[in-house]
Structure 1
């Protein structure tokens, strides 16, 4: 059959939409940095008044100590009991230098007194405000000792060597050989003082004491002391004392 109204043949029409060309755009700028919020003021630190007062106190004390050094010097020194040592020597041993501050003087300054062979004891007294008194007890030369090397030194009664002693030529002379028996010799010289001991000699076998009256020997100290009076009974004789008795020799 023929369509009386002819129509155009159907055709598939593809409509393509116009696509605009891509437009290049600049990237968006970064957001501005945020302004920091206004910070709160730091907390106020508390003042440690205890430390402040301690510091001020320390400064004050240091100032007072420094002032006392100059305000209270030692002005007067009294020395007593010295005979062999001069006053100047005792002052030096006691550490009493001119201008030293009185508040700071103490035993630590007087240590040389105890180390001196001439001083047996010492007492140091401070008296306010500027005086120091030093009372010493000196050792006294008691005997001479001929050492193994031949040198003669002066001894005190306790055996301490006294350097620089003068005028001791009349003191008993101690000497000997073998094992050291200086203490025994000093003991005999001290025990027989009333017989005017002139010398004491020691050997490994015994001790001989020469007196103004005579000579006495013994191998035992106790027997020697017990029968030492025989030197008076037999003047100018040589007496040997044994455990069994006394032997008198011409």
Structure 2
């Protein structure tokens, strides 16, 4: 009975001591561009003064739910120090859906409040994000991609091209060393240029 009471008191003292003895003295956030250090610390609850021993990686779950965050990990470089290492997604293009601008990442995630990108994507009908990503990667100097149920019109400095599929545009881009100055229309049987 006495041993059980002593064990319980020891565990309680260790639990209380672990919250007081080693507080977090420094929280470093690295790899963040879109999210500020303050936002990251607020979402995770990892602030100076919190118990260092109670800073577990599960504190990063709310941060990982943010669409800008591709990955996040917690490191403990020294006693009293925490480092939150982020890998953020990047917006390849600005996608306009129902009047709202979204960033489109390379893995198809829609990113809120994106920075300006060189490529703007808008259109009518349903959109296949994988097609748009293929087009942006094949034609990185495109300034405008317009989609319709019939296909895609891509414009950039010195070129304009239309195709019914992203695969046709990808093939056209890989076959060209320099882009045509005249509007080009791609069909399954060949291509046509406007005069």
**Given the two structures, how large is their TM-score scaled by the length of structure 1?**
0.70
Cα distance, 1:96 vs. partner?
Answer: 0.9
| Aligned CA distance change for structure 1 residues 165 and 180 (closer, same or farther; 3 Å) | closer
CA contact (8 A) 1:239 1:246 kept: yes
Higher relative CO (Cα under 8 Å, sequence separation at least 6) belongs to 2
| Aligned CA distance change for structure 1 residues 233 and 123 (closer, same or farther; 3 Å) | closer
Matches within 5 A, 1:20-169: 51-147=1-97, 149-166=98-115, 168=116
Cα distance, 1:113 vs. partner?
Answer: 1.9
CA contact (8 A) 2:158 2:179 kept: no
SS at match of 2:111: coil
Q: Which runs of 5+ in 1 are unaligned?
A: 1-50
**Given the two structures, how large is their TM-score scaled by the length of structure 2?**
0.88
What is the total number of aligned residue pairs between the two structures? 194
Query: CA separation in 2, counterparts of 1:158 and 1:208?
Result: 22
1:217 aligns with 2:162: yes
CA contact (8 A) 1:240 1:246 kept: yes
1:181 aligns with 2:132: no
| Aligned CA distance change for structure 1 residues 230 and 239 (closer, same or farther; 3 Å) | farther
Q: Which runs of 5+ in 2 are unaligned?
A: none
Query: CA separation in 1, counterparts of 2:160 and 2:176?
Result: 10
Q: Deviations over 1:139-183 (max 9, x none)?
A: 222211111x222223323232322334x0x52111121222233
Query: CA separation in 2, counterparts of 1:187 and 1:107?
Result: 35
SS at match of 1:127: coil
CA contact (8 A) 2:134 2:170 kept: no
Query: CA separation in 1, counterparts of 2:109 and 2:88?
Result: 12
Which residue of the partner structure matches residue 246 of structure 1? Answer: 191
CA contact (8 A) 2:73 2:86 kept: yes
SS at match of 2:86: strand
* Structure 1 or 2: more strand by fraction: 2
Cα distance, 1:104 vs. partner?
Answer: 0.8
CA contact (8 A) 1:143 1:171 kept: yes
Query: CA separation in 2, counterparts of 1:199 and 1:188?
Result: 11
Query: CA separation in 2, counterparts of 1:230 and 1:248?
Result: 14
